[in-house]
Homo-oligomer: A and B are copies of this chain.
Amino acid sequence: MAKAGVASGVTAGGSQRSAGTRRQLVQAAIETLSSEGFAGASARTIADRAGLNQGLIFYHFGSVANLLLAALDAVSEERLQLYGAEVSTVSGPRQLVDAAERMFRSDFDAGYVTVLVEMIAGASSTPGLGAEVASRIAPWKDFARSTIEASLRGTPLDGVLPIGDLAHAVVALYLGLEMLGHLGGDPGPAFDLFSHAKQLASLVENLIPPNAPKEPA
């Protein structure tokens, strides 16, 4: 056991100065989770990186676990918003795979998916953390589902694929590819897969043009 209990809602909303300190700590927590992993994300390590006293973590967040959750929140919100923007201009499966590849690349380089992976893997060490992490992962599955659904609209696959299960698989694959890529230091195989997926998506699109007008049922 390393991190202590998960208090709820200790993210006090205070002054300007306080907000700045919190922001620095959250940023340092993200970087530490990326480079040292959950097990290496101690109060001291994080505070050192931010150039701040480690006690501040407990004052502002109540516990290390809560700071890490705040870091997860920050990453999840920012990325999800960016993903939404990327995807909004997309029509059809091939463009979607293309967008997914770009997002994976920038995620991988910045170490953002690592934050998710580390928090999921680390959750089992702290009582109560699992549920908190789960509630922050859920939006990703929702996002995957609605995006897949939208991109399939108008193609012959519309309505025949189990979207919910597919979304689950996509998220799982995304996390797994990140783990393997990070471990070997080489995300190469992941990008080979994206390239195959693009061919497959093109195949689907060439059967029937994307976004062809569809008869109302």
Interface residues of A (CB under 8 A from B): 1-3, 35-40, 42, 45, 114, 117-118, 120-126, 130, 133-134, 137, 162, 164-165, 168-169, 171-177, 179-180, 182-185, 189-190, 192-193, 196
Number of identical protomers: 2
- On whether the beta carbons of A122 and B172 are closer than 8 Å, the reply is no
Instruction: Verify B162–A192 contact, CB threshold 8 A.
Output: yes
Chain A, interface SS category: helix
Beyond A36-B1, A117-B121, A174-B176, whether A134 also contacts B183 by CB under 8 A is yes
Distance in angstroms from A201 CB to nearest chain B CB is: 15
Partner of A133, one of B3, B118, B162, B183: B183
Q: Which of B118, B137, B169, B176 contacts A171 (CB 8 A)?
A: B176
Q: Which residues does chain B contribute within 8 Å of A175, judged by CB atoms? A: 175-176, 179-180
Chain B residue nearest to A36 in the complex (CB): B125
When distances are taken between beta carbons in the complex, the residues of chain B under 8 Å from A3 are 39
In the bound complex, how far is the Cα of B179 from the Cα of A133, in angstroms? 12
Chain B residues, Cβ within 8 Å of A40? 1-2, 124-125
